[in-house]
Amino acid sequence: MLSLRQSGYSINHKTVWRIMKECGLKSMVKVKKYRSYRGQQGKIAPNLLERDFTAEVPCQKWVTDVTEFNVRGKKLFLSPILDLYNGEIVSYKLSEQATLPMVMKMLYKAVVKMSPLKGLIIHSDQGWQYQTKTWQQALKDNKISQSMSRKGNCLDNAVMENFFSILKSELFYLQQFTSIKELKNAIDKYIRYYNNDRIKLKLKGLSPVQYRTQAA
């Protein structure tokens, strides 16, 4: 609706919903979530976030997780970091295997891009990747505090779950992908669009990057 208004159309949100209903348009449903929990394999961090998904400045609170796509029997995994300040995808990594190097490369990319960091919390579920000494030492080396959801409680990381739902509803479910390469390219393009062009009501009608830039 905000996009329509920015294009010069004055329209009520109820009118948009009515037209969508008449045209049979609705959100797509979610598929089963990728689960990385394999039991306790390392140190479990406390839940520092405690479902407080607000942040006053960039790089105060980050959330991360891994999701899975399936194209003709082949899998593709996406590991992103989202900044709770503006919903921006700070960094991400795509891989055909859910490995530790995938999440480590994502983390290092984010640290280099957003450095210097001060007082940052990064929140995840209790996936095996986040229990490893390698991940936890990297956080310690960069003075990042680790936070984890409670076991089996996806609501503790609801913002990240919501991003995955939006990505799949607006991209993955609407197209028939013929290869992993094609899907990778589409996800790259979508994340650029999501960060730079996709406006949000709670960001005063701005995209995540526009909101961060304006605030700076």
Q: Three-state SS for 103?
A: helix
Residues 146, 208 share a domain: yes
The CATH number linked to 70 is 3.30.420.10
DSSP state of 203: G
What CA–CA distances, in Å, run from 23 to 4, 28, 169? Answer: 18, 15, 18
C-alpha torsion sign, points 75, 76, 79, 80: negative
Amino acid in position 83? D
Domain span at residue 193 reads: 34-215
Q: What is the pLDDT of residues 83-135, one digit of tens each?
A: 999 999 999 999 999 999 999 999 999 999 998 899 999 999 999 999 999 99
DSSP state of 171: T
* Residues 15, 122 contacting (CB under 8 angstroms): no
Low-confidence ranges of the chain (pLDDT < 50): 1, 5-6, 27, 29-32
Residues 4, 40 share a domain: no
Whether this model's pTM surpasses 0.85: no
> What residues does 63 pair with on adjacent strands?
82, 123
Residues 193, 118 share a domain: yes
Residues 71, 10 share a domain: no
Q: Three-state SS for 62?
A: strand
Domain total for the chain? Answer: 2
Nearest alpha-carbon partner for 148 in 75, 41, 56: 41
Residues 202, 187 share a domain: yes
